[in-house]
Amino acid sequence: MSTLIKFELKKIIKRKSTITVVLGSLILSIFLFALMPLKEKSYDENGKEYRGLQAIELSKQQSKLNEGYITDKKIENSIREYQKNFNNPNNIVKDENGFSSFKQGVYWRFFYPNKTFYNFITESYNAPNDFNSMILQSISLKNRTNFYKFRNEKVNTILNSEYSDGNYAQKEKEFWLSKNKKINEPYLNGYYEGWNYFLLGRDLLIFTILAICISIASVFSGEYQSGTDSVILSSKYGKTKVITAKIISSFLFGTIVFIINTIISIGILILSFGVDGWNLPLQLTVSSTPYPVTFLQATLLSILVIYMILIALIGFTLLLSSCMKSPFPVLITDIVLLFIPLFLKYSETNWLYNQILRILPSNAISFSFSEYVNYRFGNLIIDLPTMIIFTGLILSIIFLPFVKNNFRKHQVN
């Protein structure tokens, strides 16, 4: 059996189309992920611009101003310092509409080095789905800031709000509150941009998935097209081991290509930004994020989700390949399935439509950790990434018997 698998794997790898699309996807991954550190910008206290690796190093130095545990006292001191500077008339300039902002010198010297931390505080104190950049000026410090109390109240607001496509049931609220209780407080702050860039750009791996689907589209349909299906099906193991070998080699090929592209993509970011931030909580991006995970854990979970989407699509591609006489309609169907969901809008009232749309490949790859999306099956409630993983696994299992049956019972011309 191992000999057959090696033979089928070599058949896939040696095709010119496979070599072209796989190398193309690898070069594209390198180019797109390398752009992230190359386009990085930062400014020093004089407003001088730095780019690339110099900008990254400067940002790391600036992040040290606010590293450590984010306690209520730290938040309070930061807001007090902001208000002190903003309430000083010598630091402020007004535009023609009466809008106040820091003077250039104060902005570069005081605000910009602390910008990421102040944006975090601003986002945390704003209402859900709202961003008021002026909120720092109006936060009262008389009765302390109670940062984590406010954060938990914000979570309750999210869960108890009215939504046009349906509200959270009590069991769902309990599910999310239970997750939130597992988040360690206070948050540990630091530099995390390398990991965050992968989480923001992980949907670029869709091109790797497409390359894999293109490469295996002819696993069965190519045999029909060349007429070798009659030879295979009339051989001793043509209806048994050969089919199994084709399926296993397809999944093995897809896994190898995916691992290589993923390692290279993350490797570029780690080499550029460093490993800093792997142990920091994901709540540093959006404080109300309900998942009790670090940036490293979020990265690994994202990779698993994308891999399970790939597994489902490999199964689906093999199913199409076993049904169709040519690889071309297989490719068209895969492309439609991968990219059309990007152009579909979520409904304001149809809950079921939205739930289905969220687990379609392109949307599932870039799911948001900050959203409270779950699926109900009676008393069982699961979150979106778990749903994507199980859907990918179940679909791939469902597809495989049909793949075998279609090729085995194929009418030879």
- The model's pLDDT over 59-107, given as tens digits with 9 standing for 90+, comes to 999 999 999 999 999 999 999 999 999 888 888 888 777 788 888 889 9
Q: Which of 54, 22, 61 is nearest to 38 (CA)?
A: 54
Residue pLDDT, tens place only, 366-412: 999 999 999 999 889 999 999 999 999 999 999 988 887 766 665 55
CA–CA distance, 216 with 48 (Å, rounded to integer): 51
Greater model confidence, 178 or 97: 178
The answer to whether residue 284 is domain-embedded is yes
Greater model confidence, 210 or 218: 210
Write out the H or E segment, with its range, that includes residue 189: strand 187-189
Q: What is the pLDDT of residue 230?
A: 55
Q: What is the pLDDT of residue 223?
A: 65
190 SS3 class:
coil
Q: What is the pLDDT of residue 38?
A: 93
Q: What is the pLDDT of residue 404?
A: 74
Indicate if the pLDDT at residue 191 is higher than 70: yes
- Are 146 and 244 contained in the same domain? no
Kindly give, in sequence order, each residue whose CB lies less than 8 Å from that of residue 20, ignoring residues fewer than 6 positions away. none
The answer to whether residue 184 is domain-embedded is no
The answer to whether residue 16 is domain-embedded is yes
Exposure of 114 in the CB half-sphere (CA atoms within 13 A): 18
Q: What is the pLDDT of residue 235?
A: 62
Pairing relation of β-strands 49-51 and 100-102?
unpaired
How many other CB atoms are there within 10 angstroms of residue 102's CB atom? 19
- Are 136 and 285 contained in the same domain? no
The answer to whether residue 20 is domain-embedded is yes
What is the DSSP code string of 318-344? HHHHHH-SSHHHHHHHHHHHHHGGGGP
- Are 12 and 62 contained in the same domain? no
- Are 111 and 67 contained in the same domain? yes
- What is the number of structural domains in the chain? 2
Which ranges constitute the DSSP H helices of 227-294?
A: 229-234, 241-273
Indicate if the pLDDT at residue 146 is higher than 60: yes
Beta-bridge mates of residue 41: 51
6-20, 104-118, 173-187, 358-372: range with lowest mean pLDDT? 6-20
- Are 25 and 72 contained in the same domain? no
Residue with tokens 């909120």: 135
- Are 201 and 290 contained in the same domain? yes
94 SS3 class:
strand
CA–CA distance, 300 with 294 (Å, rounded to integer): 10
- Are 121 and 251 contained in the same domain? no
The answer to whether residue 115 is domain-embedded is yes
40 SS3 class:
coil
Indicate if the pLDDT at residue 143 is higher than 70: no
Taking a C-beta distance cutoff of 8 angstroms, is the pair 110, 102 a contact? yes
Q: What is the pLDDT of residue 278?
A: 95
- Are 111 and 213 contained in the same domain? no
pTM: 0.92
- Residue 305: band (very low, low, confident or very high) from pLDDT cuts 50, 70, 90: very high
- Are 209 and 357 contained in the same domain? yes
Amino acid, single-letter form, for residue 4: L
Mutual angle of helices 72-86 and 147-160, in 10-degree steps: 90
CA–CA distance, 223 with 235 (Å, rounded to integer): 14
Q: What percent of the chain has pLDDT over 90?
A: 58
- Residue 228: band (very low, low, confident or very high) from pLDDT cuts 50, 70, 90: low
Q: What is the pLDDT of residue 239?
A: 63
- Are 389 and 240 contained in the same domain? yes
Greater model confidence, 54 or 334: 54
Q: What is the pLDDT of residue 64?
A: 93
The answer to whether residue 92 is domain-embedded is yes
CA–CA distance, 164 with 77 (Å, rounded to integer): 40
Containing domain of residue 123, as a range? 44-176
Q: Distances in Å between the alpha carbon of 147 and those of 64, 72, 142, 216?
A: 21, 6, 14, 52
- E runs forming strands in 245-377: 374-377
CA–CA distance, 286 with 121 (Å, rounded to integer): 10
- Are 50 and 121 contained in the same domain? yes
The answer to whether residue 413 is domain-embedded is no
Residue with tokens 């948001």: 368
- Are 34 and 52 contained in the same domain? no
The answer to whether residue 183 is domain-embedded is no
